[in-house]
Amino acid sequence: MKKKEIDEKVKTAFEDATPDNIERIKADAAKTEQAGVPIAAKPVKKNRLWRRIALGAACVALLICGGLGIYGYNMTYATASEVFFDVNPSMTMTVNGKGKVLNVTANNADAERVIAGLDFSGSSYEVAVNAIIGSMLRTGYLSQISNSVLVSVNDKNENRSKTVELNILAEIERVFTVESFDGAVISQTVAADAELTALAKEYGITIGKANLINRIIEASESAAAEGTAATAYTFKDLVGLTINELNVLAESLSVDVSGVSCVGTASKQGYIGKDEAREKALIYAEVELEHVNGSTVRAEFDFEDGVMVYELSFASDEFEYEVEINATSGEFVSIKKELKKAGTVGEAITEAEIKEAALAEAGLDVSAEIADYRAEYDADDFEYEVKFVADGFEYEFEIRADGKILSYEKKVRLELNKGESGLGALAAEYIKKIVMAEAKIIASIKGIDFDETQIFEYECELEREDGVLAYEVEFRFLDFEFEFRVNAKSGIIVKASIDRD
C-alpha cells in the first residue's frame, strides 16, 4: 500500500471517530439566546470520546498492518519477474519482488542436465545466474563452437524489468571474464502477450525466443524492402535454429534488431568457413574458378529448412549460379543455375523430348526411377515448367519449348507430412536423425557406447497434446529404453529419458 493511500485512510478513520458537532452547538446557542438564558456548554463524556478515538486508531492500525501484510506476502511469495534462458537448454526462472529466486524450471531435457543438483531456494537471481551459466559452461552447452545465450525478462514493472535485465547481463559478463570465455549475450525485455504466448506454445519454445525471432523477421523484412537482403524470413523458417545460429543470422543482416541488445560476437567456429564453402560450391556447380567472372564467389550465411547454410553466388559468361552448402558439414543442399541469354527460338519438340532434356541436365538416365513428375506448358512464354523427385533430390526446370534449358534447380528433399488438419510436420525420417544424435550424447554422458545400427523396437508416432503437434519416439538399445518427445514443427527435443530395464 502506498504512503498516500495510508494517509487518506488515517484521515478518514479519525474523522469518523470524532463527530463534527459545530452546527448542532450553534443551533442550541441561538435557541438559548432567544429565550434569554445564558449559554452553557454541554458537558462531553470523555470516556466515549476516547473510546471512539481508540477505535479509530485501532482501525487504522489494522488497515496499515493488513496492507503491509499483503505487501510483504506479495514481495516474498508472488512472482514479480520471469527470466527465460535459452541456448539450446531452455529454462524459466521466477523471481519475487525482493530479487529472490522462487523457482527454476527446465523447459527441455538439456536444461534438466544443466540444473541437476543445483539448489536455488532463497538465493538472489544474480547468484542463480552465476550457477546456471557456470553449469552451461561445465556441461559444454556454452562452448567456443556455440557461445551465445539469450536472456529475456518479463515484468509488468518496466523499470524493474530493465534493472533485472542489466544486472543479469552484468553477472553473465562477469562469469565469462572469470572463465576467460569469449561469449555473446543477447538480452531483451518481453511482454507475454497473446501472440507470443500462442507461438511459444505451438512450437514448444519460450516467449523470449519467440520474441527474438519476431524481431529478426522485422529486420529481414526491412532489409528485403531496402534490397540489402534477398528475402524476408518467416517464423517457421527460423524456429528450428539455435540461439547461436539466430545470432549469426542477425549479425549477417547487418541491421539493428529492434529492442534487442547484443554483447559479444556469435561463434562461427562450428562452420567450415567461407573459403572451403567457395571451393565446394565450384565443385558442385562443376565450374572452374578461372571461368568465374572476376574470380569472385560471394558467400553469405543463410538457412534452408532450419539448417544453417552458406549461400554462394557467382557467374560465368553463360550462367548465373546460386549454391547452398550445409555450413557445418559442407554437404550439398541446393543449386540453381540460370541461363543469361536464351538466344534464338528454335522449333518446338515433343513433351517426351522435353522430359529427356530435363533428365539429361540432371545427370539421370531415361530409365532412372523418378517420382511426382509434372510438366506444365505455358503458351504465353513458350516454355515448360518441369518438376520431379529422384534419389532424394527435388528437381525443377524451366525449359523452352525448343528444348533450351533456361533454369535448373536441384535441392535435397525434406519431406513434410501433411497429415492432421493439414498442418505440416517434419518428416519422421528427419526426426529420427535428430533423435539419434541426441541419443548418442545422452549415452556418452552415461558411459554407454551407443551404436545406432544396433537399436531395435523403434517406434515413432505423431501425436497432439495440449494443442502442440509432437513426435513420441521410443526404442531399445542393449538393455536400455530410450524415450523422446520432439516438437514436430521445430524439431526441438522437449523431453528425453533413458532407463535400464
In a domain, 248, yes or no: yes
Of the residues 238, 263, 288, the one at which a domain ends: 263
Q: Are residues 240 and 325 in the same domain?
A: no
**DSSP one-letter string for 433-464:** HHHHHHHHHHHHHTT----GGG-EEEEEEEEE
| Predicted local confidence at residue 60, as pLDDT | 57
Which residues make Cβ contacts (< 8 Å) with residue 58, sequence separation at least 6? none
Clarify whether residues 257 and 308 are in a common domain.
no
Q: Contact, 313 vs 337, CB < 8 A?
A: no
Predicted pLDDT of residue 41: 45
In this predicted structure, the answer to whether residue 487 has a pLDDT above a threshold of 60 is: yes
Rounded Cα gap, residues 15 and 18, in angstroms: 5
Are residues 345 and 325 both part of a single domain? yes
| CATH number of the domain bearing residue 450 | 3.10.450.40
The pLDDT, as a whole number, for residue 241 is: 85
Secondary structure class of 330 (helix, strand, coil): coil
Indicate if the pLDDT at residue 387 is higher than 60.
Answer: yes
The grid coordinates listed for 401 are 519449348
- The pLDDT of residue 342: 87
Q: Compare 328 and 396 and report the one with higher pLDDT.
A: 396
Residues 279 and 381 in one domain: yes
Query: What percent of the chain is predicted at pLDDT more than 90?
Result: 52
What pLDDT shows up at residue 466? 60
Domain-ending residue, one of 22, 44, 77: 77
pLDDT tops 70 at residue 166: yes
pLDDT tens, residue by residue, 301-348? 988 776 789 999 999 999 999 999 989 888 899 999 999 998 899 999
The answer, yes or no, to whether residue 43 has pLDDT greater than 60, is: no
pLDDT digits 0-9 by tens, 213-248: 998 988 888 877 877 666 678 888 888 888 998 999
What integer pLDDT is reported at residue 486 of this predicted model?
87
At 479, the pLDDT band (50, 70, 90 cuts) reads very high
Instruction: Please indicate, yes or no, if residue 269 is contained in any of the structural domains.
Output: no
Domain enclosing residue 341, as ranges = 274-416
What is residue 470's predicted lDDT score, i.e. its pLDDT? 84
Q: Please indicate, yes or no, whether the overall pTM of this predicted structure exceeds 0.75.
A: no
Average pLDDT over residues 407-426: 67
Point out the domain boundary residue: 77, 105, 139. 77
Is the pLDDT assigned to residue 149 strictly greater than 80?
A: yes
Residues 408 and 333 reside in one and the same domain: yes
What is the distance between the alpha carbons of residues 54 and 61, in angstroms, rounded to a whole number? 10
Residue 268 lies in a domain: no
Nearest to 183 by CA among 247, 123, 235: 247
Give the percent of the chain with pLDDT over 70: 80
Mean pLDDT of 462-484: 86
Does residue 318 fall inside a structural domain? yes
Q: How many domains does the chain have?
A: 4
Q: Is 86 exposed, middle or buried (0-12, 13-18, 19+ CB in 10 A)?
A: buried
114 with 258, same domain: the answer is yes
Q: Look at residue 105 and tell me whether its pLDDT is greater than 60.
A: yes
Per-residue pLDDT, averaged over 404-427, amounts to: 71
Of 384, 361, 336, 329, nearest to 230 by C-alpha is 336
pLDDT at 404: 96
* pLDDT tens-digit series, residues 66-76: 555 655 656 67
- pLDDT band at residue 413 using 50, 70 and 90 as cut-offs: confident
Provide the pLDDT confidence category of residue 52 given band limits of 50, 70 and 90: low
pLDDT of 10 strictly over 50: no
Q: Are residues 73 and 86 in the same domain?
A: no
Residue 455: inside a domain: yes
Residue type, 413: R
Q: Are residues 73 and 96 in the same domain?
A: no
Is pLDDT above 70 for 266?
A: yes
Q: Are residues 97 and 53 in the same domain?
A: no
Do 55 and 170 reside in the same domain of the chain? no
Residues 286 and 379 in one domain: yes
**Using one digit for the tens of pLDDT, what is the confidence trace for 11-33?**
444 344 444 555 554 555 454 44
Q: What is the pLDDT of residue 158?
A: 92
CA angle 359, 305, 224 (to 5 degrees): 100
Question: Rounded distance, CA 62 to CA 253, Å?
Answer: 60
Tens-place pLDDT, residues 187-208: 999 988 899 999 998 888 999 9
Question: Mean pLDDT in the chain?
Answer: 84
Q: For residue 212, which phi and psi values (nearest 5 degrees)?
A: -60, -45
Q: Could you tell me if 70 and 95 lie in one domain?
A: no
The model's confidence at residue 446, banded by pLDDT at 50, 70 and 90, is confident
